[in-house]
Chain A
Amino acid sequence: MSLVVDKPKGRGLTASALLAPATIFIVISLFAPLGILFRYSLNDFVPQTKTMVEALTTVQYVKFFTDPYYVSALLTTVKVALISSISCLILGFPLAYVLARMQSRFKPLLIIAIVLPLFVGNSVRAAGWMVVFGNKGFVNASLMGLGLIHQSIEIMFTEKAVIIGIIAVDLPFMVLSLQSVIEGIDRAVEEAAFSLGAPPATMFRRVLWPLALPGILGGMILTFILAMNAYATPFLLGGPTFKMMAPVIYNEFTQKTNWPFGAAVAFILMAVTLSLTLVANLLIQRRSTR
């Protein structure tokens, strides 16, 4: 269709010149490090001298799956990620719907209010939750002021605190991915369902839900991945005894300097996340081809 006469040779050269720097950069600074990390995960480790020994062994992976401490860290991580992802969907849907159907000039401000928490960093948000959950924090002080409790309740350093924190971290991603899908659904489809006498719940179940399904699954996958890899929130709100995978990896590397095991845990986390994501992706494809 192009009116410009294509000169294949020259264009090919231009294309490579444009793309090559970025591609080479990614290959060097993403694949090379991941390759080395994977190679290290097959090495052995001598705890007495804290040194890595060149080897070709799966002993690190076996260690992970035979030690209940690490298995429970993985299970906690998956559980927290699942709860967070589902909660994000339930909490995020109404806000995404209102946002998608909004016509007012305040819409950009609302978007900024949703994206701002995303950008201020997880530590800052964890600080906010610490003020709310602390021993003399807002929740405890309010409940005591109302006479509902007489002794402060422990919220900080519990799984609840971590889940509440992670949901808040992941909600913007869910809202934005739902919003973009709902915006693409013609309002007339909803009106049609209503004018045919469908109650709101039926309209939601039979019209909105199936049409928004790609966004729903996309948002759930995204929030699940983010929760699986959360570092700052479990570290700050979960305290020293609460174990999720990302803090475990950091700990193995920096505190115990056990690189082979840390590397193995990193790959286990990535493999578990990717395979669960892949399963969800297959589900989407099957739905959309039907």
Chain B
Amino acid sequence: MTTRRLALNAAATVTLLYLLTPLIFVTWLAFFRQEIPSFPPEGYSLHWFAAIFDEPKFVSGFTLSFQVGALATAIGLLLGVPAALCVTRFQFKMRAPLASLLLLPLIVPGVVLGTAMYVFHVNLENTLDVDVLGTFYALVAGHVVIVMPWVVRLVTTSLAGVDRTTEEAAQNLGATAWVTFWRITLPAIRPGIVAGALFGFVTSFGNLELSLFLVAPGHTTLPIVILQYLEWKIDPTIAAVSVVQILLIAIAMLITDRYVKLARIV
């Protein structure tokens, strides 16, 4: 019995280490003293973290990614939360197909979605005679498509776990639909909303395939800046950028975990 457990735990540890290997090594590289990623390191230094700020493209990439992610998440919540309410709280004929329609963007390949939106934006630009492709709002609109399914999915799951009798009790006591939603339903599904917002934001922040087609040259998101840098070389500066990103996402996840148990939603 114990040897069996030991073997199982060993196998699980190997997989976990495999998963974490790229993160461990990119973190290690960020602290190297020399610029070339050769082992063993000649010494350790922190100055690559300061070097991030010498490259304006990292800072502007981060800013753009953050703005796009925040706005896309806000719009995704505005569209997604009501939609999730509708598909869980109302019975109507087209319910099931419409519910899966809202999740469809999750299974369309990123690069196909990217090319499709690219030609769509070019088409819009030609018919409407306004700038579309490469503009900030077109990029946000594209990201909403991949953010909203996460909101719908996690809020739907959350709503399914809410006891409806409380809502009915409130309405029997004379509360309007709006008051019932605001005072009963919303507090109950707050974990789902927080989780949906987090997953949506992180999806948008890390998205590469869609942004590749939709950004204007010279004004790109952080994942594209990182990709283009890596195509050219790997050095401690890009590793330091990666470490900052890993830390921010880890903190965001730890905070979310306090509100809603990640074990229950992923």
User: Does B37 contact A37, Cβ atoms closer than 8 Å?
Assistant: no
Q: Interface 1/0s, chain B 243-266, versus A by CB < 8 A?
A: 001100110011001000111001
Tell me, rounded to whole Å, the shortest Cβ–Cβ distance linking A274 to chain B.
Answer: 9
Tell me, rounded to whole Å, the shortest Cβ–Cβ distance linking A71 to chain B.
Answer: 19
A115 contacts the other chain (CB 8 A): yes
Interface positions, chain A 12-69, Cβ under 8 Å from B, are 12, 14-15, 17-19, 21-23, 25-26, 29-30, 32-34, 36-37, 40
User: Does B39 contact A270, Cβ atoms closer than 8 Å?
Assistant: no
Residues of B within 8 A of A22 (CB): 79-80, 82-83, 102, 148, 152
Q: Interface 1/0s, chain A 87-119, versus B by CB < 8 A?
A: 000011011011100000001101111111101
User: Does A23 contact B102, Cβ atoms closer than 8 Å?
Assistant: yes
B101 contacts the other chain (CB 8 A): yes
The dominant DSSP class at the B interface is: helix
User: Does A236 contact B83, Cβ atoms closer than 8 Å?
Assistant: no
Tell me, rounded to whole Å, the shortest Cβ–Cβ distance linking B82 to chain A.
Answer: 4
A130 contacts the other chain (CB 8 A): yes
User: Does B22 contact A263, Cβ atoms closer than 8 Å?
Assistant: no
User: Does B234 contact A114, Cβ atoms closer than 8 Å?
Assistant: no
Q: Interface 1/0s, chain A 125-142, versus B by CB < 8 A?
A: 111111110101110111
User: Number of residues in B with C-beta < 8 Å to the partner?
Assistant: 91
Residues of B within 8 A of A210 (CB): none
User: Number of residues in A with C-beta < 8 Å to the partner?
Assistant: 89
User: Does A21 contact B79, Cβ atoms closer than 8 Å?
Assistant: yes
User: Does A94 contact B213, Cβ atoms closer than 8 Å?
Assistant: no
A76 contacts the other chain (CB 8 A): no
B64 contacts the other chain (CB 8 A): no
User: Does A266 contact B22, Cβ atoms closer than 8 Å?
Assistant: no
B227 contacts the other chain (CB 8 A): yes
What is the chain B residue whose CB lies nearest that of A23? B98
User: Does B11 contact A95, Cβ atoms closer than 8 Å?
Assistant: yes
B192 contacts the other chain (CB 8 A): no
Given A37-B119, A116-B250, check contact A123 B144 (CB 8 Å): no
User: Does A3 contact B253, Cβ atoms closer than 8 Å?
Assistant: no
Contact of A34 among B92, B116, B238 (CB under 8 A): B116
Given A15-B86, A26-B102, check contact A253 B118 (CB 8 Å): yes
User: Does B209 contact A231, Cβ atoms closer than 8 Å?
Assistant: yes
Residues of B within 8 A of A253 (CB): 115, 118, 213
A4 contacts the other chain (CB 8 A): yes
Cα A110 to Cα B141 with chains together (Å): 34
Kindly specify which of B25-33, B48-56, B183-191 makes contact with the partner chain. Answer: B25-33
User: Does B102 contact A131, Cβ atoms closer than 8 Å?
Assistant: no
B239 contacts the other chain (CB 8 A): yes
Contact of A33 among B39, B116, B238 (CB under 8 A): B116
Cα A98 to Cα B26 with chains together (Å): 27
A11 contacts the other chain (CB 8 A): yes
B36 contacts the other chain (CB 8 A): yes
Contact of B266 among A33, A122, A176, A259 (CB under 8 A): A176
Cα A262 to Cα B111 with chains together (Å): 11
Q: Interface 1/0s, chain A 164-179, versus B by CB < 8 A?
A: 0101100110011000
User: Does A249 contact B111, Cβ atoms closer than 8 Å?
Assistant: yes
User: Does A36 contact B144, Cβ atoms closer than 8 Å?
Assistant: no
What is the chain B residue whose CB lies nearest that of A259? B119
What are 16 A-B contacts defined by CB distance under 8 Å?
Answer: A17-B82, A19-B86, A29-B141, A29-B144, A36-B116, A94-B15, A110-B16, A112-B253, A117-B22, A119-B202, A123-B230, A130-B230, A167-B18, A231-B209, A246-B209, A270-B108
Closest 5 A/B residue pairs (Cβ)? A128-B22, A141-B39, A136-B38, A33-B120, A33-B116
